Structures are given as structure tokens and as C-alpha cells.
């Protein structure tokens, strides 16, 4: 079980992610949706880099 507190993105990072997502998928995300997708993506890359440590 993961006991880490929920990480939060800065307002600047969140807005940039929303812009990139809109450019790539032509879909707007709410702040909550964008943060959830971005954090999942970051966890995915962490698994790729560190092997799930």
C-alpha cells in the first residue's frame, strides 16, 4: 500500500499540462482531471525509470 501523501502540481505545471493535452488530443480537461492524468503519467515514467521502486 502506498502511504505517500497525494502530490500536487504547481499551478504553472498544471496549466502547461492542460495546454499540451489540448494540443495533442483536442480535448479540454478540468484542473482535477489534468492533475489526475499528469500524476498518473509521472508515476508511469517513475516505474519505467526506477522499475517500480
The domain of 18 spans 11-50
In a domain, 25, yes or no: yes
CB–CB of 9/17 below 8 Å? yes
Residues 6+ apart with CB under 8 A from 18: 28, 29, 31, 34
Q: Is residue 1 part of a domain?
A: no
SS (H, E, C) 4-40: CCCCCCCHHHHHHHHHHHHHHHCCCCCHHHHHHHHHH
The answer to the question of residue 18 being in a domain is yes
pTM value is: 0.76
Q: What digits encode the pLDDT tens for the residues 24-44?
A: 999 999 999 999 999 999 999
pLDDT at residue 50 in the model: 92
d(CA 46, CA 40): 10
Quick one: pLDDT band at residue 51, thresholds 50, 70, 90? confident
Amino acid at each position: 500500500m502506498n502511504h505517500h501523501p497525494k502530490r500536487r502540481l504547481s499551478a504553472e505545471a498544471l496549466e502547461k499540462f492542460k495546454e499540451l493535452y489540448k494540443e495533442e488530443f483536442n480535448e479540454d480537461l478540468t484542473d482535477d482531471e489534468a492533475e489526475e492524468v499528469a500524476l498518473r503519467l509521472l508515476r508511469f515514467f517513475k516505474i519505467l525509470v526506477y522499475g517500480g521502486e
